[in-house]
Every structure is written in structure tokens, then in C-alpha cells.
Structure 1
Amino acid sequence: MASKTKKTVVDVKEQFKAVADQFELVQILNEKGEVVNPDLMPDLTDEQLVELMTRMVWTRVLDQRSISLNRQGRLGFYAPTAGQEASQLASHYALTKADYVLPGYRDVPQMIWHGLPLTKAFLFSRGHFVGNQFADDLNVLSPQIIIGAQIVQAAGVALGLKKRKKDAVVITYTGDGGSSQGDFYEGMNFAGAYKAPAIFVVQNNMFAISTPREKQSAAATLAQKAVAAGIPGVQVDGMDPLAVYAVTKFARDRAVAGDGPTLIETMTYRYGPHTLSGDDPTRYRTKELDGEWELKDPIVRFRTFLEAKGLWNEEKENAVIEQAKEEIKTSIKEADATPKQKSIRSS
């Protein structure tokens, strides 16, 4: 008599596949700047598209100048942002001034575009207390240095907005390394349980400082970590500003409608080091990998798209670059003119 094949308790491979298959990458613009998913095209006017590009170019200049100022000894701590402009600025562009931004230390650009004066951003980098003195109507918290701690804070702020019946959301950012922290799970779980209006953005730039993404978690995607918290998760092409905007707008609409939080994983890349505090990316990244991601540059991709629509040209871009340089020059002078902090000795 033939023996029957014993059924396993769980088909592990099928279970993992069923979960991972739900998190396909959302993309609207491909690497050539072509629209590949017109059904997801966000409802943005020509003026809004130009404004988003302006912010991205301006921020790329800020990154370049900040690196130079750091090397001159005129800035303190700095985490480069080049490559992550779409992930940072297109997500922020889907917000309103009433929304709250809880940044990590790489997310100073979102703070600036939310209303933080550039001079204060420079003072924050220098560790000056004035850099953490925000206007009462600026809905921003200071950049969190402790990895992932802003996730728990975001859950609390979001619950406060819900209890006060505010038509606003909280957005918070961390990197792929932050998604391995206990605070990440605790914050998402809390927000999910109370349907708090929060948006959790994991900017997956593939390396938590120097640790490759595949060594951080056995999960096929970081977006699927939302499942354990009972909230939706989305993986999006983080080098595609239109896709990032569309996904964030979707998450914000859900949150203000009372449907709770969303986890967004943006697939992106930082072209520079983790920070300028001694990190050397050549020790853990290859030239081939750098070259592969340079072809996905969010500014190049968006520029191609806008030029095809007749909305952007070299003259406009140069004007933005020069404006950024002037504003940076003025702001660093203001930071230099700010009275130095005085040490206080206890008697």
C-alpha cells in the first residue's frame, strides 16, 4: 500500500511568495523620463511640476555647497542628500503646511521647504541652540539623531491630531537601517492600533551606513513589514518624483479620511557618504553599483520629462542654480553673524 505524502503545517515558500507578490514597485516615470503608468499620473498642474523640479535642483545645489562648507570647517554634522531628492521632496510636496514633519538627520531639506529658514538649518548643523528654535506655526520637530526614535514620536503626534480632530497628518522619515529598530515596529503598531493619521517613510538607500540591505532583514521588501502592524505598505521607485508624490498623496488622503497610517518604502540611493563624519562609501559600494544608480538620477529623469513637455530648459535650471547659490551665501553669512554660544559653568 502506497504511503500518503504528509501535509506540512505551512507551505513556507508559498506563504513568503504570497506576501512579497503584493508589494510590486510603483513607478510612473522610467529611467528615460518616459511615462510608463499613465493611469497613476498625479493631478499636478504645469506650474506645480515646475515648482517640484525647482525644489529638487535647488536642494541638489544646497547639498553640493553644504559639503564644501563642511570641508571648510563652516558647518558641523552633515548627511549628504544627493540622489534622494525625489524621495524627500516629492513626498513632502504632497503635504500641506498644517501637516507635521518629523525628520531624521538626513531630512533637513523637507524642513526647509516646510518653512525652516536656511540660516537655522546651518545653525543646527553647527550645534547652535538657535538652530532648534522654531516659529510657533512651523509644524516640524528637530531632526532625530537616534535611529528610528522619530517613528514613536510620530505615532504620538498623530494620535494627538486625531484626538483634536485636526485635518492634518504626520509624516516621518527613516532609512532602511531604521526599519530594523524596535522603535520602528512599536511606532507603527501603535499608530495602526489607533488608526492615527501618520505616514511612515523608509528611504531604502540600500546601506544602513555600511551594512547592505540584504544583511539587515530576511524580508523580501521593507514595505511588507506593514503587514505585521495591520496597515498598508507600498514600495515605490524613490528616484521617480511623480510616483513618490502619487503614493504619498494616496497615504495622506487615507489618513485624513480616518483610515489610519501607511508605510512607504522608497527605493532610492545616496550618491555620497552616509555622513561627512568619516564614512567612506568606496569601502562597501562598488563603482558598478554607483554607475547603475547614477543612470536613475531623479533630477535627470524629471528634467527629461519636463523638457519633453516644454516646461523646462537649461536657462531655467541655471537661474535656479544661481538663485540657490545666492540664498545659501546670504544664509551662511547670517549664521556666521549669529552670536556664539557661551558655556555656563556651575559654581
Structure 2
Amino acid sequence: MKTTELPFPTSVTLTQNNQARMTINLNTADTLLYIDSLLPNQSYKFTATATKNNQQLTTNEVLATTLDTTSHNFTWQTFTFGQHSSSVLYDVAIINENNIWAVGEIYMNDSLGQPDPIAYNAVHWDGSEWKVKKIDVHFRGSLITPPLEGVFAFSSTDIWFVGSLPIHGDGTNWVMYDLRTTVDPNLSLSKAWGTSSSNIYFVGRNGSIAHYQNGIWKKIESGTTSIINDIWGIVTENNEAIAYCPVSSFWIPGDKKLLSIKGNSVDSIPWTFNRLLYSVWTPSERVIYICGGGIFERRNNQWKEINITSVAVNRVRGNYLNDIFVAGDFGFVAHFNGLTWKIEEYDFNSGFGGLSVMENLTAVVGQR
């Protein structure tokens, strides 16, 4: 709400569908109003009324229609990979329905039927079948198949993998950036997020944050030595990129916090729970979802817990506020449709740690 004519402080009455909804005490000329009780797929009319010099002033009527709920009805397909040892997938990225990459450790037999001790590090969906892949890169004079933990893709020919160090490629050819030689010897990275391949962030162990912008690599000081487990961000209405990073470790005592990155500066967002933070997703500055030792939502600068499971929840991703998925231990997968949460899977023989959502397609990866 913006005003140019009222003295401060002043009292304003907000009317919703011709009924008084709330009275607000204004102290500034620009105020954000937050209403959390509106129903899905409904139209509302709002006006605001105030008094100045014994004269009633009323704003123009504002019309708003809320988002509809999305469907809880899904058809799931299960694919398994690996022929020996214990295979696992850590992360997944959907480019489109005919192009999906997942990364991890996949143990296959060689051409003689014997166990190959060198794990394949990726699987790729081409629209008709999954194929296991070895993403090989040159590293300090040797051709290696590095373990991969993260994947983030902008297009079919613009893909980033993370295997302690960043790897960029076009789907066929790959280049590893040896940041431990060129930037900092202690960097150890596992996940990525960015707005383009000219502005992308990488996070990981020991509080590691690296930023690649317009051909230049930089280390960003995070203020923590704990594990940064995930990264996700948005581009604001002012065309400013903000990335959020959950910090905590199950194995090592240390920080439990949520970092925010703008440019090359790091700040933290107040975290009021003594719970682990494993993943973050956000569609806007006003709403943030965290999962780890539970599921948490931040609206209007206030956190609340969403109590739908007691298992560890390892990843959260979504399309928008009415289409959000979470996945975790014991095969836990749940969906929020804008009004209700529904548990989609609960397989005690599985554990999920990677999740990608794009329009009507969702991919969940882990270990079984």
C-alpha cells in the first residue's frame, strides 16, 4: 500500500469484498500487506479507507484472483541402476521431458561380466530410455571419472556438474575447473544454482562458496566451516539475484543457519529452530521453504513448522506456491497443492536425496 497524502502515524481500514477485514496502523508511505486466509481460485475485491481532516478517503478498488490448487494425482515410474556393490544417485536435473540428468555412483559390470571397480557417475534419460554414463574430465594431466554430487542445467547444451570441483559441458564434452589450484586449495563443492552460466554459485563442505561471473571465479567467505548442503535462488522484481543456502551437519556439531547471497556478499536469515537444514526452495523473497529435521515455511518473516512426517526430509523443490514437493528418508515423498499436503510415497527400503520439478514432471533420486 502506497500513500502520498496521509500524515503518519495513521489508521487505515482494509475492506475485503465490502466487509472490513483489518485495521492497520501505518507509519510509512509504503507498506506491504499480507493476508494468509484467502481460498484458492477465488476472486476478491479490496479497498482501503482512512480519515484526513475529518474527511474519509477511499482508494480505488483492487481486484485479485488467487491461484488454483494443483492435482495430487500422479503416475510414478521406478527405474533402478547398478549391477554390483551399492549404487546411489545424489542429484537430478530435468531439462525437459526428453532430457534428464542424474548423478551419483553407479556400479556396473565390465564387458566380461566382471564387476567394474570404477563407478559410472551419471545416468541420462533421452525420452525413451535411461543410459548409464561416465563423465570423464582432464584433471592435472590425467583423464578421470570423478564422483559427482550435483547437477544444474540451463539447457541441453549448457550443463553443470559438481564433483568437489565444477564441471561444465554441452552434453558430450566436459571441462573441469580446478579451483583448488586457481582460487583456493580448501574449496570442496557439491551443489550449484545460478541465473545463467555467466552467473552461477557453487557450495559445499567446509563452508565453501565459489562464484563464477562473466569468466571470473571468486571464493566467497561464508562465515561458517560447516557443510552448506544446498543452494537455490530467485531473481527479484528489481532484477537482483538472491541465493539461499542451508547450513548444518548431521555428523559434525556446528552451525545451523540459513545464508543469503547477493552478489559476492553473504548474510544470514534468522533461524529459530534447533533443527538440521538440508535443503531450501523459494519462489519469491516473501516465502522460503526449508527441510531437514522437518519441513518449515517462512512467510512475513515468521517461521512455522509443517508437521506431516517424523523422518528426515532431504530435498524440497517446486514450480510455485501451489505445487511443491519434498523427499527424504524411508522413501518419503509428499506434495503440496496450494491447500493440502499429501504423502505420495513411503517405502522403508528407499531413501531419497535428490529432487527436480519442472511443470508436470517430477524426478526423485536416491538409494534403494
TM-score norm. by structure 2 comes to 0.30
The structure that is helix-richer by fraction is 1
TM-score norm. by structure 1 comes to 0.31
Q: Indicate the structure (1 or 2) with the bigger Cα radius of gyration.
A: 2
Report 1 or 2 for greater relative contact order, CA contacts < 8 Å, sequence distance ≥ 6.
1
The structure that is strand-richer by fraction is 2
